[in-house]
Structure 1
Amino acid sequence: MISRKIVALGTLFTLLLVILCMAASAPLRTNVSARNFEFTYLMTIPASPADAKTLRIWIPLPQSDPYQAIGGLKIESPFPYAKHRDPEYGNEYLYLQFPAAQVSSREEVRMSFQVTRREHLVKLDAHPVNAPSAEIDSSGLHRFLQPDRRVPLQGVIAELAVQETRGIQNPLKKARAIYNYVIATMRYDKSGTGWGNGDAIWACTAKRGNCTDFHSLFIGMMRAVGIPARFEIGFPLPADRHDGAVPGYHCWAEFYVQSFGWIPVDASEAWKHPDKKDYFFGAHDDNRLQFSVGRDISLDPPQQGDPLNYFIYPYAELDGKPFAVESKFSFQDRPSDGD
């Protein structure tokens, strides 16, 4: 455990190594766009009630992967913390546990780090020679064929998936048919209540919602016809700004087809930008930052509450019960190499 220090985890050299590894492991492509920026994640803890005993907090951390490099992580915390991973998906997070009496007034935990985010583009018009399918075996795909609490695979979701893919054998064409259906049927609408929970049945009935609802319906239909699909969540970066606040999360999906590997999809962005409908079937742009994968997340050390519907904001428990903390996010673009 580490206490009351600004701790630098990673250096510029580490960041460069990660970028080089990304370049070496990713399929060779030219003209791939990338965005360099610094991201700040600020959590505010309110004062604890006088009779409270123990406060526990889990704060998600981004990880490097073939499409984003994370470096220079700095953590400012008045309380001890340790890094953990959830046992099912491998999501990384900070874990804090301390006497609630230590929070007599508002306290802050601040994280900042540098990111290089690359466009994730899969060329679907040609069979790839060096397919990334070896990155995962059938056991690793199994979870992404199973239901989530709010994404059942029976009943109306299964019926709808079969209806929209009837007569189609090719899994890529099945995926496109489901993608087309979701975009044609749903509308991006955050009015009223019910949206944002990623409830596939609600989305199917209401035919509206945010990115969580779009992709819950997409993932449920995909899994129902035997195509592995996974939920990913992070933050959007505005394409027309170079710094400022990030008001909330964004989520997207990937599905798996043998010989192509994981194929990116962003159905809600395609709905908002019809001219990019074809692009977002097989691509994620570089204006985003991923934090975690999956739904129904059980943490380690385990929370006493329900599994997390998704994990992008801090989760806290005070004496075993959910406890509200605040969070704010911001970014600052950084010069690219050669600028």
Structure 2
Amino acid sequence: MSMTFRLCSALLAILLPSLRAEEPSVRGQREFVLKYQVTLGEVSSPVQVWLPEPVSDEWQRVTLLSSNSPVPPKSGRESRYGNSMTWYDIREATGNIYLSRSWRIVRKEVKTQSSNKSHIAGEDLKAFLQPGKLVPITGRPLELLEGVALPEEPYGVARLLYDRVDEHVNYDKSQPGYGNGDTLWVCDSRTGNCTDFHSLFLSLARSQKIPARFEIGFPLPVASSGVIPGYHCWAAFHDQSRGWVPVDISEADKHPEMKEYYFGSLTANRVRFSTGRDINLVPQQASEPLNYFVYPHVEEDGKVVPKSRIQLRVSFRNTFAD
């Protein structure tokens, strides 16, 4: 065996594993098992627990594999955005309570086509034109558009807004107040995470009469298995000829080389859990509407249980990648 051949073989042995690990980031589909485990500590009185439930749609297929809890779960679906959830009414329990659910999920890459006809009824679009508690559509956000000539077509306007948000905001989680999706805070701080980027986009799009919605779930690392440390969110706007067009501005900000891609496309490295902001649960929670719904909501004697008493572990394991 020649020295050259041996060197090439050695290099391939080193490089191939890393190349394989990166492959899911460019593939059009991922199949995996997702596990959502919740532990509630120091329970001494009746509690109610709401968990978000991922459901099948055009871009993901979800199959429940297992469910563990001290009481039978009940399913609910709120009417404003159509979010599904699982509710537990735990009357007799002390100490720690453990809940878990796992699903087999097939997630596809989202690629918007000009002929996409995924419209929803005009009446249903109204919810995606309204201001939210932290998402105003007048005032301070519109200062970002002063002196800017807007295109005539809504699709072109949305692209301009995508660029404007990316220019105005830096992905930076060092400032207190990030992650709440408070548009006014984002305008002033010019920093934030995915929630903050897309709240500003929602405000601007809706101010221009472009329906826009917020979506949230969990990102999938390129590894084949592991623990997912936190949520990820993105947005979509509605175009008459294209239907819902996704945008992921925070990922575009972190990966400028993919900025064109993330206007109209999403990788398969994610799963959607819910849509919208200011969410009321089913049955109705005692608290105010939830800012967003991706983590457990727990109430004890009608009062919200602090996050310090709720442990959540989200993990995944690839089963197939295409």
- TM-score when scaled to structure 2? 0.88
| Among candidates 296, 303, 309, match of residue 321 of structure 1 | 303
Q: For residues 141 and 69 of structure 1, what CA distance do their matches in structure 2 show?
A: 24
* Cα deviations by residue, 1:255-300 (Å, 9 ceiling, x for unpaired): 0010100001000000000000000000011000100000000112
Residue number in structure 1 paired with 2:19? none
Q: For residues 197 and 236 of structure 2, what CA distance do their matches in structure 1 show?
A: 13
User: Do the aligned residues in 2 keep the contact of 1:229 with 1:253 (CA within 8 Å)?
Assistant: yes
Residue number in structure 2 paired with 1:106? 96
Residue number in structure 1 paired with 2:249? 267
Return the offset for 1:74.
1.3
| Among candidates 213, 225, 244, match of residue 226 of structure 2 | 244
Q: Aligned partner of 1:48: which letter?
A: V
Are residues 1:156 and 2:140 paired?
A: yes
Matches within 5 A, 1:252-263: 252-263=234-245
Return the offset for 1:161.
4.1
**Which residues of structure 1 form unaligned runs of 5+?**
1-30
Residue number in structure 2 paired with 1:84? 76
Distance 1:105 1:182, change over 3 A: same
Aligned length: 294
Distance 1:167 1:218, change over 3 A: closer
The structure that has the greater radius of gyration is: 2
Residue number in structure 1 paired with 2:110? 120
User: Do the aligned residues in 1 keep the contact of 2:150 with 2:157 (CA within 8 Å)?
Assistant: no
Are residues 1:44 and 2:39 paired?
A: yes
Q: For residues 42 and 82 of structure 2, what CA distance do their matches in structure 1 show?
A: 32
* Cα deviations by residue, 1:111-158 (Å, 9 ceiling, x for unpaired): 1110100000114xxx42xx314x311111111000010001111123
Q: For residues 284 and 156 of structure 2, what CA distance do their matches in structure 1 show?
A: 40
Are residues 1:138 and 2:122 paired?
A: yes
Q: For residues 65 and 110 of structure 1, what CA distance do their matches in structure 2 show?
A: 23
Higher relative contact order, chain-length normalized (CA < 8 Å, sep 6+): 2
User: Do the aligned residues in 2 keep the contact of 1:158 with 1:225 (CA within 8 Å)?
Assistant: no
Structure 1 ranges of 4+ moved more than 6 A: none
Instruction: Report the more deviating stretch, 284-293 or 152-161.
Output: 152-161
Distance 1:219 1:161, change over 3 A: farther
SS at match of 2:198: helix
Return the offset for 1:254.
0.4
Return the offset for 1:48.
1.7
Q: For residues 97 and 229 of structure 2, what CA distance do their matches in structure 1 show?
A: 21
SS at match of 2:76: strand
Root mean square deviation of aligned Cα: 1.5
Return the offset for 1:90.
1.1
Q: For residues 163 and 322 of structure 1, what CA distance do their matches in structure 2 show?
A: 45
Q: For residues 193 and 54 of structure 2, what CA distance do their matches in structure 1 show?
A: 22
Are residues 1:188 and 2:188 paired?
A: no
| Among candidates 276, 290, 293, match of residue 308 of structure 1 | 290
